[in-house]
Structure 1
Amino acid sequence: MGANDSPTTTRSIVTDYFDWRLNNNRTITDNRLFLLVRQIGPECEASYHVQQPAFNMLFSSPTVDLQTLNNIRHFHRELANELFNGGVMKWAYIITFISWSAVIAERTLQQLQQPQGINSLSPDTIISSIIDWTTDYIDTDLAAWLQSQNYWDGCLKKFDNRVQRRNSIGRGMAILGTIGMFTLGALYMRRT
C-alpha cells in the first residue's frame, strides 16, 4: 500500500493517511494536501474524542467485535453515521472520518495479532477494505457537498489559508519584536 501523490483524489488522500498512520508516521510526501490531512487528522480525532465520549467508550470497549469484514464494515458505517448525522458538514468532519477509519484499521490489526484474533483475514484485506469504504462514503454520500466546496481544492484552500495566516502572524510578530529591540537599543544608547 503506497500513497500516490498525483492526482489528488479522495482515494489517494485516504490511502496516504492510512499508510502514514499505520507505518508510525514514517512515510514521506511533498503533497501539500496530504501533509495538511496528516497534520489536521490527529487534531480532529482528539477533538472528537472530547466531543463524543459515548461513542468513544463504545470504540475503546474490548467487546467491539471486529472479527469479520461484515462487523468491521458495520462499525465503520456507525462511525460515519455518528459523524455526519447532524446534517452539518465541515472539512474537519471528513478529515476526522479519515482519521477514525485509520484507527478502526489499527484496532482491527491489533485484534488480528491476539491469540484468539481474526484468522481468516489478511492485514492487506482489512486495510484495503476500510480504505474502500471510507473513500466510497466520502465520494458517494458526501458528493454534493464536496462539489459545492470545489472538491479537495476547497479543503486545501481553507486550511492552507489558516496555516498561511498563522505563519504571517508569526512573521509579523518577529518583525515587531525586532523593531522593538532596535527601538529599545536606540533609547538605551541615547541615555548613555
Structure 2
Amino acid sequence: MSSQTISLSTNRLLLRPVATGDSVLLDAAGTLPDDHFSALPPVDDLIREKGLRSPGDTLSLVVETLASREVVGVVRLTWSQAESGLGQLSFVFDAAHAHRGYCVEAIQALMDMAFTQLPFERLSADCDNRNGAREKPLQRLGLSYRIGSVTPDGKRTYEISRDEWARFYTGSQLVA
C-alpha cells in the first residue's frame, strides 16, 4: 500500500499523504513541548516513505479538517520488523486543536484500515507516562496498558488485538 496513493476520511477529517507544503506546520507540531515522546522525523523523510509494503515500512498521513483544510496533526503506522502482525501507532497533534476529538477520530480511521485492509493482528502505541493527555485517546480507542511495559525512560505501551478491536467497533463507529 503506497503512501502516495492512500487517503482516508471521516466525517470531519481528511488523512492524506505528506506533501512538501506541509513542512512549516509539521515542523512546528513535531516539536511541541507537551509531546514528550513522539517527535516527527523531518518532512522530507515523511514524503519519501513508500508506504506499508513489508515489515519495517511506515505510513505517515497528515490530518486536516474537511471544513477549513487546516492541518491539525499527523498519524503514523509502522509495520514492526520484530514481530509478525504487529503495527506501531504514533501521532502528533497541534495543541491548539486539543479537546475536539480529532486525535481519536484520526487514529480510529487508521486502526480501521490496519485491521480491515492490512495484515495486522495487533496494534501498539507508546507514550511517555508523564503525558496523561497522550494516554487518554489510546484508552478511549480501546487500547489497554500492557502491564510491566514501562521502560526506564518512562515509556508505556498500549495495545489492542484485532479481536479486541472487533468487539469495540462496528465499521468506523466507536461503540465503547
TM-score bucket of the superposed structures, by smaller chain = under 0.3
Which one has a larger percent helix, Structure 1 or Structure 2? 1
Which one has a larger percent strand, Structure 1 or Structure 2? 2
TM-score w.r.t. structure 2 length? 0.27
